[in-house]
DNA sequence: ATCGAACGTGAACAGTGTCAACATAGACCC
DNA sequence: GGGTCTATGTTGACACTGTTCACGTTCGAT
């Protein structure tokens, strides 16, 4: 009855296949369209089989979120590194910081539905394990991405681009505007094309950095 | 078979009753828990009756969003006016602006689920009318709230607190960080209690205003 | 080779969105 | 008043969903 032929009775890698299918599904038709049954169908497995790997449909969504966070971390890291490579010292740190922010928003816009899942209400719905099953960390999901953020912010201070006193604030002052821009774009309040993205980012960047006390001369064009 | 007795066969105000029930439902158990059937049940009416007033379950959610936007507009307006009343000129304009932002975030935190609906993916799902049935304006939903925002931003310029050149930027520079803070709080990335709210708001406020070129002396304590 | 555990299947339950056919009750005209 | 029209509700059905339970199948260790 499986919709996709499968040579072996056992799938072999069902868990990952399900996550992948779910990511696809969510990407195609949005979070609402996602259904555990449809994901199972795509993988070619009966719906109940999924319950050997996920206690809930929410557990599967959490896995989708986790996948998204790790991709996001990679993306941010890569673009930040690239930006820093072209410059030195404080200027490099500022460039990396800026690139990271841009990467964050770009990721959201290019993976709208998955981004929504990542920050959806599912992650902390029940007492159930927050992410992959580790119960210790409520927000373990975004840990990798958050670690990247912290690293780049620290650079900002150690390179001298930012006074140490501002370090405590910068996390929020950096994150909130970028997150807000991202959400406004994926939720349709702001057009979600790449040009608008760049323009909006540019508008936000300078006042934020200046407000935090970064020397305007360090801010790339 | 109605779960709530109803003296008359016709309800009389079913549309509004449904919206109210939906707002309640969403507030109690989140957007996911919402179901057209449950809303109908609460009102004491058969599920199909709702289809005389809403083409979709999404249409009902859009009505919930609309309700939220008008409440938000009232709230922002009220708190801004109150804050301005105590001061004069540029200082008053800045205070009103600040109060409006605080009201925005506070509304989100105190009406988490409804706020999520307001900015959810439902509003612009289909070609269907965006909100109450008017098809002209894609984002007619937030018009009242947006008008309030514009009014207060204009004050900022006319009162001399902000250079006219910054007017074009300020909309985004004000909205994105507040929206981001709101979402991070309701989505669990930042604790959603009132003290954290005030503290976070305070951290964001000053760099933003300074970055835009507002005289620090005008910023309230 | 056997046996337990891990993995997958089928059939079933309650709940959902939605629709078409039918019932009721106001409104409006004579 | 009586008679018709139309807005409004109701019943019953369909296809779909999440989830569970009893049951097959296969893998790996002994």
Q: pLDDT for A89-136, tens place per residue?
A: 999 999 999 999 999 999 999 999 999 999 988 766 433 333 334 433
Strand C surroundings (CB within 7 A): A 1-2, 6, 9-12, 14, 45-49, 52-53; B 8-10, 34-38, 47-48, 51, 55-58
Q: Please state the rounded mean pLDDT for residues B118-144.
A: 57
Q: Quick check: B137 pLDDT over 50? A: no
Q: What is the pLDDT of residue A134?
A: 40
Least confidently predicted of A78-82, A183-187, B117-121, B171-175: B117-121
Task: List the single residue in B with minimal CA-CA distance to A180.
Answer: B180
Q: Which of A89, A214, A221 is nearest to A155 (CA)?
A: A89
Q: What is the pLDDT of residue B4?
A: 57
Q: Please state the rounded mean pLDDT for residues A146-153.
A: 95
Output the distance from A9 CA to C11 C1' rounded to whole Å: 20
Output the distance from B107 CA to D19 C1' rounded to whole Å: 36
Neighboring chain A residues of B190 at a CB cutoff of 8 Å: 172
Mean pLDDT across chain A: 88
Contact B119 A211 (CB under 8 A): no
Please state, for a pLDDT cut of 90, what percent of chain B lies above it. 78
Q: Which residue has the higher pLDDT, A136 or B34?
A: B34
Give CB contacts under 8 A, 24+ apart, made by A59-63. A59/A128, A60/A18, A60/A19, A60/A22, A60/A36, A61/A22, A61/A31, A61/A34, A61/A117, A61/A120, A61/A122, A62/A122, A62/A123, A62/A130, A62/A131, A62/A132, A62/A141, A63/A15, A63/A18, A63/A19, A63/A22, A63/A131, A63/A132
Q: Is the CB of B212 under 7 A from strand D?
A: no
Contact B209 A204 (CB under 8 A): no
Q: Quick check: B1 pLDDT over 60? A: no
Q: What is the pLDDT of residue A1?
A: 39
Contact A140, A130 (CB under 8 A): yes
Q: Which of B23, B194, B43, B55 is nearest to B127 (CA)?
A: B55
């Amino acid at each position: 009855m499986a919709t996709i032929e499968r040579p072996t009775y056992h799938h072999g890698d069902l868990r990952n296949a399900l996550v992948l299918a779910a990511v696809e599904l969510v990407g195609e038709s949005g979070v609402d369209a996602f259904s555990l049954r449809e994901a199972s169908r795509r993988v070619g497995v009966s719906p109940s089989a999924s319950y050997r790997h996920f206690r809930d449909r929410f557990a599967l969504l959490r896995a989708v979120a986790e996948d998204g966070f790790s991709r996001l971390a990679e993306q941010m890291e890569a673009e930040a590194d690239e930006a820093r490579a072209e410059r030195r010292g404080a200027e490099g740190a500022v460039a990396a910081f800026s690139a990271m922010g841009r990467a964050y928003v770009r990721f959201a816009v290019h993976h709208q539905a998955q981004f929504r899942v990542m920050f959806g209400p599912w992650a902390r719905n029940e007492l159930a394990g927050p992410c992959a099953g580790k119960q210790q960390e409520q927000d373990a999901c975004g840990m990798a991405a958050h670690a990247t953020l912290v690293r780049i912010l620290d650079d900002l201070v150690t390179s001298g681009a930012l006074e140490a006193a501002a370090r405590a604030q910068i996390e929020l002052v950096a994150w909130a505007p970028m997150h807000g821009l991202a959400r406004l774009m994926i939720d349709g309040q702001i057009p979600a094309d790449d040009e608008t993205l760049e323009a909006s980012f540019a508008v936000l960047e300078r006042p934020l950095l200046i407000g935090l006390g970064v020397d305007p001369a360090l801010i790339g064009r």
